[in-house]
Amino acid sequence: MKKGWILVFLLMFLTACQLDPNTEELYEKTASIHVNTNLPSHISSPKEQAFRIFIKENNQPIQASSDIKIGVSKYGEDIQNVVKTESKGEGVYTASYTFPEDGLYDIRLEVKTAGQHIMPTKRVAVGHLTEEEKAILQNKQKKEKQTHSHH
């Protein structure tokens, strides 16, 4: 009989501790930042290349007062060249950079808003690549397809 009361008490206790299905509404929602970088399909060196960056937060163009930085570095090197961006309004930023030589480059965008700080990186091919650089680029593209295929 004693075990029966303990079981009834536990069942009552557990049902009283159920979560409210609307609990998530009580928490602050984080802003969602999306960055799209448009680069020319073929980049050659040593020519100046212009590119456009589109930034949205919660599907709205991000304000020009946000902190936007671009860094360009050759693959495998630690030196990062900071590139000046210019706001064109409505979440559109432009920049230009002269790639000094052929090879793989990483373009890192740093976007800071009141609620988030993201640093997406895009790897690009400039001019003619060595076989090793081609393999590195193909491997990165395969990984990107694998990580995006489940969405």
pLDDT for 65-86, tens place per residue? 567 889 999 998 888 899 988 8
81 inside domain: yes
CA 52 to the chain's CA centroid: 16
104 inside domain: yes
pLDDT for 104-150, tens place per residue? 999 998 888 777 788 888 898 999 898 998 898 888 666 655 554 44
pTM above 0.75, yes or no: no
Q: What's the domain count of the chain?
A: 1
60 inside domain: yes
For residues 11 and 129, the model is more confident at 129
9 inside domain: no
Q: Report the CATH number that the domain containing residue 55 is assigned in CATH.
A: 2.60.40.1930
Of 56, 33, 41, 37, nearest to 121 by C-alpha is 37
102 inside domain: yes
pLDDT for 86-117, tens place per residue? 888 888 889 999 999 999 999 998 888 777 78
